[in-house]
Structure 1
Amino acid sequence: MIMHRFRWTVWRRILFGFFILIAVFASAVILLYQSGFIHEKLRALAEQRLGEYSGRDVRIESLTGSLISDATFKGLVIGHEDDIEKCTCLDVESVTVKYNIIDFLRKKIRLREVVVVRPIVYLGRDSEGHFSLKEVFRPTRPRKGGPSKFSMTIDNIYVKDAYYSMDVNFPITEYEHCYVHSRYSVRRGIHTIEVMDSSCYIPAYDLQVKSFGGRITAGGGNVILQDMYARTDLIDVQADGLVEYSPKLHYTISTEGSRLEASEIDRMFFGERGVISGSMDVNSTLEGGHGWFRSIGEVSIVDGVLVKYPFESFKFDYLYSDGHLVTENVVIDMEGGHFKGEAELYSGKRVSMYNLHFDGTGVDFAFFNNLYKIHTNLELGVVMAGSGFTKETLNSDIVFDVRGGKVGGVAIDSASGTIGLRDMNCAFENLNISIGGASALIKGNLAFDGSIDLFVDAVDIPVNAITSAFDYEVDRGVAHTLIHLAGDIRSPDVSGTVTLKNVYSDKLGADDVILNVDVVDVVDEPEGEFEFKGWGMNVYGVPLNKLTMKGMVKPKEIIIKGVEGFMPRGFFVNGDIKYSYEDIERKEILLTDFGIYVRGFNILSTDEVGIELLESGIGIRRCELRFLDGVVNIQESYIKGEEVHLELAGGGLSVDALDSLLGTTGMFYGRVERFKLEIGGSLTNPDILFSMKAGGGPFRYMEDADVDIGLHYLSDAVHIDRFDLSGSVGRLKVSGYVPISLRALIKRERPFYEPMNLKVTSDNLDLRLVNNFTNWVFVDGGSVDADIEVKGMPDMPYFEGDIGVRDGYVVIGKYGAQIRDINGEVKLQGREFIIESETPIKGKMDNGYVTTSGTITLPTSVGMPDFNLHILMSNAVLRGVPRVTGIITADVFLTGTPKRDFALRGKVRVHEGLITYNFSEAGRAGTASKDSMDIELYILGENNIWFRNSSADIELSCDMRLKRKDGIYNITGELNALRGYYYFLRKDFQIERGDVVFEGGGEINPNIDILGFLMIRDREENKEAPVYIQIEGTLKEPEISLYSPDYPNLSQEDIITIVALNMTWDEYRQTGVGELAGSQTREYIERYVEDELARSLRRGTGLDTLRIRTNLISGGEKESIKITVGKYITRKFYVSFTSDFYNTQGQSFTAEYYLGRRFSIISETFSEEGAYKYAFGFRYRLRF
């Protein structure tokens, strides 16, 4: 017991002493902590440890926090300010670290968690960036026995607005405005940086890299680049590489599979000069270090442009080192050919040199400058060697050897020579060209500023070799040219001689063409240039509507012998031409044995014509021309300035030849027996005397007519001395005068200055002459008597007199309508053409007539006349409406002015009509021109209007209004069914009632409400049950439903089944599938035969109704052939008869007389059980 108490007392004293020791130790630690001694030691220890790990100087302003497991470093700086120019430095506001105090005291750092607040990284060269740690990172513990360096991972590092550069001989070493998103980790001394979707700006090339990234691994003095990429809008570069920075810098980068637009290379390296474009693939290796760089690889570009020349593909291998570029295996595929070759270029600080060697096959390219675009296609070899890349520094020679091809369409056999490029000048040194077996030599200079000094000497060059370039074949002929070009290439001075010998082709030819030329400089002329407008000519398809010349080649003499060939518009010429130029006062063109043909007809020929070109005009020597198979004698004539004198006379001219000249068919007839034309005075106020007598012409229907014309122009007026047309076409006389000022007409001023006075009379004048002036109508007979005085201004005439039309016959071509026996009178009073209602213009049309009366008023100025006509039509055939025809009577008014307020209004009654629109087919109604006439018609039809298509035969009445305003149609009103059938499931549903209602709008798509019925066999023998069909909706989208009061529980599908199979419901349920198929097939065959037979007979007999129904094919208990025929005896009286050939008891006769559109009287006779019965009643149709 004592021992036990002693032991407890000892332990209690030991424990108490231990607690006292701990308390003393804790108090000491607390005192040291409060005094800052421990914090200062820890801060110094942290600076030491971080300095060891980073290899940099570390400065920590203070350290606070828990002593056991965490601490916060304030003002952490790694590196000194004097290091900023050499390396990156880190400045952090605070770092909070969670750690184990025992490991820290044992000089081991095992960090559990680190939080960094507001870090700043200095990147050198007075630039800085910012990065932030979005997440807390936890470094990992190194393996036991591993290296002493710690391991850690930093996620989501962001660096913004950073600037960076380094002294490395690498094209891209400076960056601005960098935005970097990365992840950093250290494992066993290996540093890894993963860069994700970052961006930067490269100022050296004005290049914005929108996205770059990849993996960077560093350790042991090496940096490995993996899956690196960089992308812009036009560049996508992929790269892998190795950078060795110890003991010296050396890098190797591979860019396999990189893609970029060559236009971006042009922008960065050539300043967007259009040197290169296209889609580029690059596979290359870049290698370099301090002070050196080289690259080797292959490039492929497709669908691009090289120095403004398009190509399909451009491939080459290259080696670049320190300004020295060597390209091999260069292949450029262009349209029609390709280039192959190699090139070597060197570009240094003081000198640039190059040596290019290429072979071309089928090369097609163009030469551009301000004036010319010459396409070529050559087989050639080119060697170019020299120095300088700009016009000012260019010093090189081009040696070429052309083995064949074309230049501008001209075939080249071969060519060789040297072109020297130096001193802003292009020197042609003995450029020899072989064309068609002959040779040409070119020597001289062409300066870059546009000045030219060239000699061209060509001997016996085949003309065809040159003209074939312009799609103009020459059968024979050679050219000898000695030409000197000097001055400005845009308007060179040309002198020398061109001689063409024995030139001939099927289009144009000559035995000899000799041109001796020099240059006339017209700069000293008053206008400085010559301009011709509105020529209206075509030379082999090239329009010459305007020609401007600032310097004219002046031929001294041109002699063309044996000219023969086709000219534009079907003209053919032959003869000799001589043009001589003696001085500025006298030039002459002499045509000898000259002829002009059109479509094989000789319209003009002469032995000799001399045309003198005067300084202020033109003169013609006395000569004789053969024109249109006649003779024209020209006396000495001339035009000198304003003065004019022309005198010619002739006769025997064939007017028929005008058909060949103008390309018309049968429009002109007869001959001009004699004519005379004299013109004197001045061009702006000439005196003109013209007389002509023609026999048998000059137009159609005037074969036996004679024309005698005499008129003169004097004192600004055309005086018609006589105009007499007589013969089989009747007689027409015109006399009087028309004042007109040619001077004002030339100045494009109003030429009329006082009233005219004309007298026009005709006696039995053939109306068919109208066909010469219009093809809208065809006049096949009739005559006109007229006695008219025309006064007032020519552009605002007024009339007095009468016109009578007799026995006219007109066919309106657009609608095919024929109006016969047209007779009537028209009075002319001032500007009004009056057709009196007592004496209207009346004619027969179809089986009826048409009558017109009213007025037509001419405008007070240029424009369309105003109409106010009353038109009556009886029994006319309706035309011009698609899928609608009929016989109508109309009472309409045509008023207003075309293209302004033209309108047709009135009533139309339809006696017979046929409409053939199909269901599910609507017509557009609003597509007419805004200039079309307005229409407002009331259309009424009581009966006999049939709506027929593959689904229906329905007789209708109508009450409708058709309007068209500003080109927009609007149809309102209704069509009501009187009788008929609707065909559905090959059954005839008899129409009980029906309405088709038009409600206007932009589409012909009326509403439909039609009710029909069909009698089918009932459950009980010898009884029938009705099946009703209801058609509602619109014409375009009809809705069809069936129902039967005797089968109220059957669905619509069941009703369709028994109707289609012609069975009762009980029979359908008891019959097998095979029997159903056979019964249905026989039913369809029977109905097809019935329908086709009825349609054929109805077309042949003209009946309004014809129906045939039989069961001879499908079979039945009682054989039956039932025929129903119906016909309108008059427009209001309809009769029909029904008979069964196998059952005489089934006959019936029905007669219906229409008292109005909805009211009719019906009488019916029918046989029943051997006795005839009669019925009489009234029918009134209600619409609901």
Structure 2
Amino acid sequence: MIDLDLEASGSLSDPRITLAVDVDDLRYEQFTADALALRADYAEQTARLRRLTITRFGQDSEISAELGVDLGVGPTMGKLLDRPMTAEVVLRDIGTWVFFPMAELLSAYEGRVDVNVRATGTPSRPQLAGNLTINQAKMVLRPLGMYLHNVQAMAHFNADSVVVDNITGMTEGQGTVQLGGYLLLEKFQPGRMRFDIATVRSPIRNIPFIEANVNSQITIGGTVDYVKIGGAAQVNSALITLPFAPAEEPPPPEGAQKPMDLDLAITGPNGIWLRNKDADIELKIDNLNVRMSQNILFLSGQLEPLQGVYRFLDRSFDITEGTLTFTNAAVINPSLNLKAHTTVFASSGGGGEAQQKYEIYLTVGGTALQPKLSFSSDPSRSEQEILTLVGAGMMLDESGSGDLSFTGTALRGVDYALGIAAGKIQKGTGLDLLKIKTQAGAESKPQVTLGKYITRDVFVSYSQGFSSNLSTEFKAEYLFGGRSAMFAQKNEAGKYNLGLRMKFKY
């Protein structure tokens, strides 16, 4: 329901206008109100908002203002005049729509927003005084893809700026965020800004192929139209889904994309998992620089594997050492230097049942998008023979024939099926490590291994044999110094021991 009363007199170049508007049950995009009442007039290049009353949830918000503006027909029609102005704004539970001008940086929804501000000065040099509070809000820090709840905020207006005294909030997983800073206003529009953000156990997204939970000190600067982000982050846990194959290009963003610069220094001692169809590897980061310039992402630094597997021909190779090196290229394509190992039991061909044990060593070089594999073995075999061993679980004899028994073929099929199942189980249960080992032959030891970080520095694994091998193994590791660990373990023979493992980089 709208009641409108408009009176106009004077001339086109010097009009006189009186306006009265009453609206019930107002809905406009994100803004809602039970009632709105407006009384305003214009004469002699002065607009006076006598009263604007907005009623929401039984509370009245009121705005009054007086400023110079030319509404007469002519070359300066519609322009604000640079002469003294006044405004009084008292908003009670006005709604989160007031954050709409910053929507690409900060979105707010739910929660209570109260504003009390007085404006003097001129439109080009406003002088603001007052305060703003936010209670029990939900927000999204869009450049970091960070969702906040239970947000409490206090800010005040100081001359031409909005100063954020403190914003606190919770993230998923009981993480915390604290934020402070300022936003300069230019003719009442957002201009330059600086916000300092401290996060604890907080998720960061919006980086291609990467999701992470971090402790960080981050600064957001620049302008709303050109955001610049810098700082440092220590990774508590992360998932990297970078494929070891050319990935499909992401769909182009809708509309024009505003430029953004990013410069983050990333470290992380463990709990960083690279998972794709070829690999499931836990990594550590000594120093990784994540940089974005004009929306183009660059990575530089080195990641070092701690444990995990590389898959080839549906067989898992245990990672023993290596590096992934990012070289500051515009394409996310790290150089690979990984070494891995597996054991294969195979018949020697000719229909015999004797089983030979082969230690197979794999080196992965090249880049993530163009990996290069090389093989060696003990006893020594050619790469072609090794590929036959890995793929079919058998060794060809001199005549070129081999004993591809039903048992060997079936077990390779089981390996493949269990590999798929293990990935789904691991994803559904939250385990950090799940390995299922099946091997043919009298000396084989089928086994399932479960692993989980119970704290940031303590990793526990449990292995259980099955079929004819019912032995159990247990290992608890306390990680320290980035490269070393103290461990207690029980081996398959039932013996307990303590140990110290140290790695030196030189």
With the shorter chain as reference, the TM-score category is: 0.7 to 0.9
Q: Which residue of 2 aligns with 1:102?
A: none
**Which SS does the other structure have where 2:26 is aligned?**
coil
Is 1:883 aligned to residue 209 of structure 2?
yes
Instruction: Quickly say closer, same or farther: Cα 1:1178–1:789, change in 2 above 3 A.
Output: same
Q: Which residue of 2 aligns with 1:867?
A: 193
- Aligned with residue 1060 of structure 1, among 376, 391, 399: 391
**Which SS does the other structure have where 1:705 is aligned?**
strand
The one-letter amino acid paired with 1:1026 is: E
The 5-angstrom pairing of residues 359-438 of structure 1 reads none
Q: Which residue of 1 aligns with 2:491?
A: 1166
Is 1:842 aligned to residue 168 of structure 2?
yes
**Which SS does the other structure have where 2:375 is aligned?**
strand
- Aligned with residue 1125 of structure 1, among 416, 437, 450: 450
The answer on whether the counterparts of 1:1119 and 1:1142 sit within 8 Å (CA) in structure 2 is no
The 5-angstrom pairing of residues 1022-1061 of structure 1 reads 1024-1047=357-380, 1050-1061=381-392
TM superposition shift of 1:991: 0.8
Instruction: Quickly say closer, same or farther: Cα 1:807–1:1133, change in 2 above 3 A.
Output: same
The 5-angstrom pairing of residues 951-990 of structure 1 reads 951-958=278-285, 959-990=287-318
The answer on whether the counterparts of 2:326 and 2:334 sit within 8 Å (CA) in structure 1 is yes
- Aligned with residue 921 of structure 1, among 246, 251, 257: 246
The answer on whether the counterparts of 2:146 and 2:204 sit within 8 Å (CA) in structure 1 is no
The one-letter amino acid paired with 1:1028 is: Y
Is 1:831 aligned to residue 160 of structure 2?
yes
**Which SS does the other structure have where 1:1060 is aligned?**
helix
Instruction: Quickly say closer, same or farther: Cα 1:767–1:963, change in 2 above 3 A.
Output: closer
Superimposed CA distance per residue, residues 1074-1095 of structure 1 (whole angstroms, 9 cap, x where no aligned partner): 7427566324312122212322
Instruction: Quickly say closer, same or farther: Cα 1:680–1:923, change in 2 above 3 A.
Output: same
The answer on whether the counterparts of 2:101 and 2:190 sit within 8 Å (CA) in structure 1 is no
**Which SS does the other structure have where 1:890 is aligned?**
strand
Is 1:911 aligned to residue 236 of structure 2?
yes
- Aligned with residue 23 of structure 2, among 674, 694, 715: 694
- Aligned with residue 760 of structure 1, among 89, 92, 95: 89
- Aligned with residue 1141 of structure 1, among 458, 466, 475: 466
Superimposed CA distance per residue, residues 1025-1054 of structure 1 (whole angstroms, 9 cap, x where no aligned partner): 42211111111221111112431xx32112
- Aligned with residue 319 of structure 2, among 991, 995, 1001: 991
**Which SS does the other structure have where 1:858 is aligned?**
strand
Cα separation, 2, equivalents of 1:891 and 1:773: 22
TM superposition shift of 1:854: 1.3
**Which SS does the other structure have where 1:1076 is aligned?**
coil
Cα separation, 2, equivalents of 1:1107 and 1:747: 75
Q: Which residue of 2 aligns with 1:197?
A: none
Cα separation, 2, equivalents of 1:903 and 1:775: 13
Identity across the alignment (%): 24
TM superposition shift of 1:1162: 2.4
Cα separation, 2, equivalents of 1:758 and 1:704: 22
TM superposition shift of 1:679: 0.7
The 5-angstrom pairing of residues 743-822 of structure 1 reads 743=72, 746-747=75-76, 750-767=79-96, 779-810=108-139, 817-822=146-151
TM superposition shift of 1:727: 3.8
The one-letter amino acid paired with 1:830 is: A
The answer on whether the counterparts of 1:995 and 1:1183 sit within 8 Å (CA) in structure 2 is no
Superimposed CA distance per residue, residues 311-330 of structure 1 (whole angstroms, 9 cap, x where no aligned partner): xxxxxxxxxxxxxxxxxxxx
Is 1:715 aligned to residue 44 of structure 2?
yes
The 5-angstrom pairing of residues 569-718 of structure 1 reads 671-672=1-2, 674-697=3-26, 699=28, 705-718=34-47
Is 1:857 aligned to residue 184 of structure 2?
yes
Instruction: Quickly say closer, same or farther: Cα 1:793–1:808, change in 2 above 3 A.
Output: same
The one-letter amino acid paired with 1:868 is: R
Instruction: Quickly say closer, same or farther: Cα 1:749–1:1106, change in 2 above 3 A.
Output: closer
Instruction: Quickly say closer, same or farther: Cα 1:767–1:811, change in 2 above 3 A.
Output: same
TM superposition shift of 1:968: 4.1
Cα separation, 2, equivalents of 1:983 and 1:1029: 10
The answer on whether the counterparts of 1:700 and 1:769 sit within 8 Å (CA) in structure 2 is no
Cα separation, 2, equivalents of 1:953 and 1:773: 40
- Aligned with residue 1102 of structure 1, among 430, 434, 446: 430
Cα separation, 1, equivalents of 2:448 and 2:156: 60
Instruction: Quickly say closer, same or farther: Cα 1:831–1:748, change in 2 above 3 A.
Output: same
TM superposition shift of 1:1149: 0.9
Instruction: Quickly say closer, same or farther: Cα 1:730–1:1034, change in 2 above 3 A.
Output: same
Cα separation, 2, equivalents of 1:853 and 1:772: 19
TM superposition shift of 1:871: 0.9
The one-letter amino acid paired with 1:853 is: G
The CA RMSD over aligned residues, in Å, is 3.3
TM superposition shift of 1:1133: 0.9
Superimposed CA distance per residue, residues 398-444 of structure 1 (whole angstroms, 9 cap, x where no aligned partner): xxxxxxxxxxxxxxxxxxxxxxxxxxxxxxxxxxxxxxxxxxxxxxx
TM superposition shift of 1:1008: 0.7
Q: TM-score, normalised by structure 2?
A: 0.87
Instruction: Quickly say closer, same or farther: Cα 1:1092–1:729, change in 2 above 3 A.
Output: farther
Superimposed CA distance per residue, residues 180-219 of structure 1 (whole angstroms, 9 cap, x where no aligned partner): xxxxxxxxxxxxxxxxxxxxxxxxxxxxxxxxxxxxxxxx
The one-letter amino acid paired with 2:87 is: L
The answer on whether the counterparts of 2:102 and 2:224 sit within 8 Å (CA) in structure 1 is no
The one-letter amino acid paired with 1:881 is: I
Instruction: Quickly say closer, same or farther: Cα 1:1016–1:1118, change in 2 above 3 A.
Output: closer
The answer on whether the counterparts of 1:953 and 1:980 sit within 8 Å (CA) in structure 2 is yes
The answer on whether the counterparts of 1:982 and 1:989 sit within 8 Å (CA) in structure 2 is yes
Structure 1 range deviating more: 823-832 or 873-882: 873-882
Q: Which residue of 1 aligns with 2:62?
A: 733
Instruction: Quickly say closer, same or farther: Cα 1:748–1:709, change in 2 above 3 A.
Output: closer
Q: Which residue of 2 aligns with 1:1006?
A: 334
**Which SS does the other structure have where 1:696 is aligned?**
strand
Query: Paired residues, what number?
Result: 496
The one-letter amino acid paired with 2:158 is: Q
* More RCO (CA 8 Å, sep 6+): 2
Instruction: Quickly say closer, same or farther: Cα 1:910–1:773, change in 2 above 3 A.
Output: closer
Is 1:1088 aligned to residue 413 of structure 2?
no
Cα separation, 2, equivalents of 1:736 and 1:823: 29
The answer on whether the counterparts of 2:305 and 2:319 sit within 8 Å (CA) in structure 1 is yes
Cα separation, 2, equivalents of 1:1089 and 1:1110: 11
The one-letter amino acid paired with 1:874 is: V
Is 1:1176 aligned to residue 503 of structure 2?
no
Cα separation, 1, equivalents of 2:128 and 2:416: 68
Instruction: Quickly say closer, same or farther: Cα 1:987–1:1142, change in 2 above 3 A.
Output: same
Cα separation, 2, equivalents of 1:913 and 1:683: 65
The one-letter amino acid paired with 1:716 is: Q
The answer on whether the counterparts of 2:314 and 2:419 sit within 8 Å (CA) in structure 1 is no
Larger radius of gyration: 1
Is 1:946 aligned to residue 273 of structure 2?
yes
**Which SS does the other structure have where 1:1044 is aligned?**
strand
